[in-house]
């Protein structure tokens, strides 16, 4: 049986790991570390970030096992995470993670939504261009795998004369098929 206190501790602090991951992705840290290891100073300069704050984020990501600290003050993206966290990786999750970053603002307003019944986001205000792009490309990130699985399960698509892609994100299913 799970210890109730441990469960509550894990659930109540779970946002911390998510915020660190999503913020690092949003700031471009993973893309910058997709190549060679970098020092905090060089990375802070490249991304126009505060070196001390960046060091805290990098140390937290190393503690989560996403980064390796190759020497004091030098970090690298772990190989097994590179395909998913490199924005140009073959299995990238960059856009869906950025979409989740943009959703954070709404999730912290859940208590207000429960009190008022009003949505967390004013629907009359358009999404920012970056938020909209993260959503659309995020749909591509999450539909890529399922589209490949469906395409593998279908008979040869060359036998099909027509195909209708409904809800395939930005054409991900049609492109895959």
75-104 residue pLDDT tens: 999 999 999 999 999 899 999 999 999 999
pLDDT of residue 70: 95
- Whether the pLDDT of residue 132 is over 90: the answer is no
pLDDT of 169 reads 67
Q: Is the pLDDT of residue 157 over 70?
A: no
Bridging pattern class, strands 67-71 and 38-39: unpaired
3-state DSSP assignment of residue 141: helix
User: Is pLDDT at 158 greater than 70 in this prediction?
Assistant: no
Residue 177 has pLDDT above 80, yes or no: no
**Mean pLDDT across the chain:** 89
The CB-side HSE value for 71 (13 A sphere, CA atoms) comes to 4
The rounded distance, in Å, linking the Cα atoms of 69 and 15 is: 23
């Amino acid at each position: 049986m799970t210890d109730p206190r441990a469960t509550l501790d894990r659930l109540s602090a779970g946002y911390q790991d998510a915020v660190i991951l999503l913020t690092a992705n949003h700031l471009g840290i993973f893309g910058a570390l997709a190549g060679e290891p970098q020092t905090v100073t060089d990375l802070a300069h490249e991304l126009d970030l505060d070196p001390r704050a960046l060091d805290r984020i990098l140390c937290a990501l190393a503690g989560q096992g996403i980064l390796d600290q190759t020497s004091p003050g030098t970090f690298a993206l772990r190989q097994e995470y590179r395909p998913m966290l490199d924005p140009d990786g073959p299995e990238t999750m960059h856009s869906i993670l950025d979409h989740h970053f943009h959703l954070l603002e709404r999730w912290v307003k859940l208590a207000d939504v429960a009190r008022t019944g009003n949505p967390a986001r004013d629907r009359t205000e358009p999404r920012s261009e970056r938020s909209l792009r993260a959503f659309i490309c995020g749909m591509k990130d999450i539909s890529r795998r399922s589209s490949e699985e469906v395409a593998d399960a279908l008979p040869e698509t060359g036998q099909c004369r027509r195909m209708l892609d409904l809800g395939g994100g930005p054409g991900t299913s049609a492109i895959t098929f």
